[in-house]
Amino acid sequence: MNEIFLDTETTGLSFGDGHKIVEIACIETKDLIPTNNIFHKLINPKRNVPDEAFKIHGFSEKLLSNQKPFEIIADEFLSFIKGKKLIIHNANFDIGFLNGELGVAKKDLINKAQVIDSLEIARNKFPGISNSLDSLCKRFNIDLSRRSKHNALLDCELLREVYINLLDVKEPKFDLSSTDKKVHQSLNSEKKYNKIVVEISETELKNHKNFLKTELKKNYY
């Protein structure tokens, strides 16, 4: 089964308080490797965008007023995610908004059995500390330099990297010094010896024979 990394941006914190989705992004992967299939839409919320929300994502009312409302893109969205696992950070927030919008549009709701919440995984792995997407990126040394504002598509890309680390936290790789590397290579390399042939002169050979005669008689006879 393929996976979908999903994120939304909204006008506020709760669909029940009248807030709406302004951006949906989905990145499809197979075995966590991107397939290059992406669903990304800006959405007309048909309401104002509070200053607090604008400061977070930067989507103005003027920009969003030119986009399609959720009910127009709902079928395309449902088709994209059909039969795939949804990996979402703080899934209750996004699913609350998505099912709220789908209910208004009279579409099928997302089954929570289809959803994996990476925030729950992070809290189990790192209890008692912040497990926001930003915090996890810093913990896993994932580059945040592009994230000046919240952007659903970029957050999906970051979430994929975070999720891979959550599933299998890599052991630190030891950076051997050049000296250690040389020692390691020396221990594991095949030793090669050079054979040097030394030729002796006639005089040296004669002296050696005389030495053997005199010394052998002296010591053994």
Does 208 participate in catalysis according to the annotation?
Answer: no
Q: Which DSSP state fits 28?
A: E
- Active-site residue identified among 19, 57, 89, 150: 150
For residue 53, what are its two tokens? 């929300």
Looking at the DSSP bridge assignments, the partners of residue 115 are: 86
94, 107, 102, 40: which is closest to 67 by C-alpha?
40
Give 111: exposed, middle or buried? Use CB within 10 Å, 0-12, 13-18, 19+.
Answer: exposed
C-alpha Rg value of the chain to the nearest Å: 35
Q: Taking the chain, what is the end-to-end CA distance rounded to the nearest angstrom?
A: 92
Task: Enumerate the active-site residues.
Answer: 150
